[in-house]
Amino acid sequence: MSRFMVSAPQPEAVEAGLDILQQGGNVIDAAIGAALVQTVVDPQMCGIAGFGSCHIYLADGTHTIIDFHGRAPSATKADMWEHLIEGECEDGFGFLLKGQVNEIGYQCMTTPMTIKAFEEVLDRFGTLSMAETIQPAISYCEKGFAVRPQVYNFWTMPEVSGRIPRVRGMTENPATAKIYTKSDNSLYKIGDILKNPDMANTYRRIAQNGVKDFYTGEIAKQISNDMAANGGLIGMDDLASCKTIETNPLWTTYRGYEIATNQPPGGGLVILIMLNILKHFDLTKMGHNTSEYIATVSEAMKIATIEKDSRMGDPEFFDIPLEELLSDSFSTEMAKKIKNGEKADVIRLNSGADPKETTHICVADKLGNCVTMTHSLGSSSGVVTDGLGFMYNNCMMVFDPRPNRAGSLAPGKARFTALSPTIVFKDKKPFLLVGSPGGTTITMGNLQAILNVIDFGMDAQQAVSAPRFTTTSNTIELTNRILRSTEKELQSLGYPTKRHPFSYMMPILQAIRLTGDKLDGGADPSGDGMAVGL
């Protein structure tokens, strides 16, 4: 019987977490140690200059969420990119600008929050120091890691609907190219061993001098000087003012279970809106992935997406009507519209592609201590400061360049994201941990994992492996394992559909289920990862 369970999209991270648990560390130590390894072996999905959301529940009753979304630098101006707008992503998660200044290069970064959050979580809830926990990551930097298919596939992703071909982010910046290309200027291939000695040195400096070096010390000076020399927006004051935000979870009930998730600017509210609507339907009777089921869940997805686009943002800058959106009257009204055959209309400025680059880690023990954490670089800026080794985020990409909107640019403002690490409780005890990378598909994947477990009795692996769909526009996107006969029925109901050639698609779900003192884990087959018990 497993005492611990770790689930992540990278085998190296899972093993690092298990090693820490075997050596006597707790679930917090394991989660942060695994996450630091993720920053090395999946360096465009996540990094110490990224952002995220960490959901913690401990058996002593501690229950909190540490939010570490990056913020727009103080040099940001609300209208600085309005004249560059060319379009909007189809799912509303980002804008296409002339010159792609919000997607690649020195102006596309929000403040780097990840390493600050990791240290704070360790100091408050862990048993190991940052100096101890970062050692596995340093080892992977020095000894190298074998480039996995998911890593290489991201590097070689072609241009899609106005988004840059990702190879630009790996080769245009000289300090970046020094790490990720060989002597013949070609990218490392699947199976090649990639080492990053500059990142190892940076991590050693953090281990020796503390995370303060990154925000107010010599590392901060290197970052600031690089930004100033290349037209970047981040300065020393931005780094020094970085701070995490601790929040209580948002809650709802569903079929007798209690669902806890993160506050805005994270995406947990989107999940709760959908669950509140869907509690008005007998999904089990409809049958898993039938046309009626997919249409009903898709309408809930569309309604939540419309609310996300129009009435959600950084709560420090935008008044989100939480009480209304989580009310019984709102969910009842929306469910009535679906039952009456009304189709929600998701309006977009234009169409484009949504970047889906992030990662996740779930750790739990049989005592009920658990962590579910999503952290990210957005789709990564392509920028590395020479000598530091890590890549910066590109989270300015998702802000709305049009002033006076929920997601508009403003100094010190956080972008709204779909990051939604969620814990389901049964009889007041944690029952299911879920989370995933995948842009706006995160909330849609997390929702389906929850439905798969609660409404259809699946275990963790079944829940993350089942065929999925996502509806963040007026088109229902289907994996190739959704029956074609079902797709025809959806089309006959008036729904445009898009069939993907992949049997599995974003998001890359990770889950752990706790039943009594037993643990079972799931790792989405669309990723490279695994779920392993100890």
Catalytic positions, please? 358
Sequence-ordered alpha helix ranges (H) in 43-180: 114-125, 130-133, 135-143, 149-155, 167-171, 174-180
List % helix, strand, coil for the chain (3-state, nearest 5). Answer: 35, 20, 45
CA distance 431 to 254: 13
Q: Which of 484, 476, 452, 447 is nearest to 465 (CA)?
A: 452
Q: Tell me the Ramachandran region of residue 520: left when phi exceeds 0, alpha when psi lies from -120 to 50, beta otherwise.
A: beta
The 3-state DSSP class for residue 223 equals helix
Helices 197-209 & 135-143 angle (0-180, nearest 10): 160
Other CB atoms within 10 A of residue 135 CB = 17
What are 408's strand-pairing partners?
A: 400
> In 359-507, at which residue ranges do the beta strands (DSSP E only) sit?
359-365, 370-376, 422-426, 429-435, 469-470, 476-478, 497-499
Three-state SS letters, 437-465: CCCCHHHHHHHHHHHHHHCCCCCHHHHHH
Cis, peptide link before residue 149, omega less than 30° from 0: no
CA distance 494 to 491: 5
What are 67's strand-pairing partners?
A: 53, 245
The sign of the dihedral angle between the CA atoms of 327, 328, 331, 333 is negative
CA distance 133 to 34: 9
CA distance 113 to 186: 31
Other CB atoms within 10 A of residue 361 CB = 33
CA distance 258 to 254: 6
Cis, peptide link before residue 507, omega less than 30° from 0: yes
